[in-house]
Amino acid sequence: MDLKIGCCGFPTARKNYYQHFEMVEVQRTFYRLPRPETAEQWREEVPKGFEFTLKAWQLITHPPGSPTYRKLGKRFSEEEKGKYGFFRPTDEVFSAWEKTEEIARILKARVIVFQCPGTFRPTDDNKENLRRFFGSIKNKNYLLAWEPRGKWEDYEIKVLCDEFGLIHCVDPFKNSPVSGELRYFRLHGRDGYHYKYSEEDFRELKEKIGKADSCYCLFNNVAMWQDAQRFKELL
């Protein structure tokens, strides 16, 4: 089985991180894309075989009213606000995808994660936006993972994932993936970001991984640095 363990973002100095893990999910790309030269530096400094995955820019998934936009440092007019987020079929959203893809290409990323806010609900408009977005981007170089967080039914998620070959990205302690052979787990803490996983949690996580051919386990809690190492040692 191909099991990959790491963190969502760098919880320690990058050189120190590379000594302990063989992959990372880049978070900075969600808030504000790094310059291409910065991405090139990251790619050049990693050990051979190190893997990047990354989180797609929030301009694709989140509307400007989201508090995460504070880190972007950009003001939007009322007219502009309706052109970003929720996979809207606008030039602005597709431009954000092109810029995200450029960084993914430089990093030689295998997986791009599209995390949606809880306000992205299964309305007809949102489903149509998803279909137009994923039906329009021509992708052969990446695996695309979708993490819905609103009140989506499993069958709704499965239909869209199967239609566009998406990985259903989940926190395995909160949901089970409904589509795809590859597992992409993002561990946000059983009761929030400040949660620290126990040995019993790790045994349960191992069971949830099961016999998957390939699985990513990315820790995204305040103790991610310690928890990811402890889980790796357990295995």
Task: Assign residue 135 the CATH number of its domain.
Answer: 3.20.20.410
Please tell me the predicted confidence (pLDDT) of residue 26: 98
- Determine whether 173 is exposed, middle or buried from the number of CB atoms within 10 Å of its CB (0-12, 13-18, 19+): middle
Task: Name residue, tokens 């050049």.
Answer: 44
Please tell me the predicted confidence (pLDDT) of residue 171: 98
Cβ atoms 25, 9 nearer than 8 A = yes
Q: How remote is the C-alpha of 144 from its chain's centroid?
A: 9
Please tell me the predicted confidence (pLDDT) of residue 211: 83
**SS3 category, 2:** strand
Of the candidates 3, 7, 117, the residue with the CA atom closest to the CA atom of residue 54:
7
Helix axes 224-234, 199-209, angle to 10 degrees: 70
Please tell me the predicted confidence (pLDDT) of residue 1: 76
Please tell me the predicted confidence (pLDDT) of residue 203: 96
Please tell me the predicted confidence (pLDDT) of residue 166: 95
- Give per-10-residue mean pLDDT for the chain (235 aa): 95 97 98 97 97 98 94 88 96 97 97 97 97 88 93 96 96 93 95 96 95 94 98 94
Please tell me the predicted confidence (pLDDT) of residue 181: 81
- Determine whether 230 is exposed, middle or buried from the number of CB atoms within 10 Å of its CB (0-12, 13-18, 19+): middle
Please tell me the predicted confidence (pLDDT) of residue 122: 97
Torsion angles phi and psi, residue 12, rounded to 5: -145, 180
Whole-structure pTM over 0.85, yes or no?
yes
Tally of structural domains, the chain: 1
Range of the domain at 170: 2-234
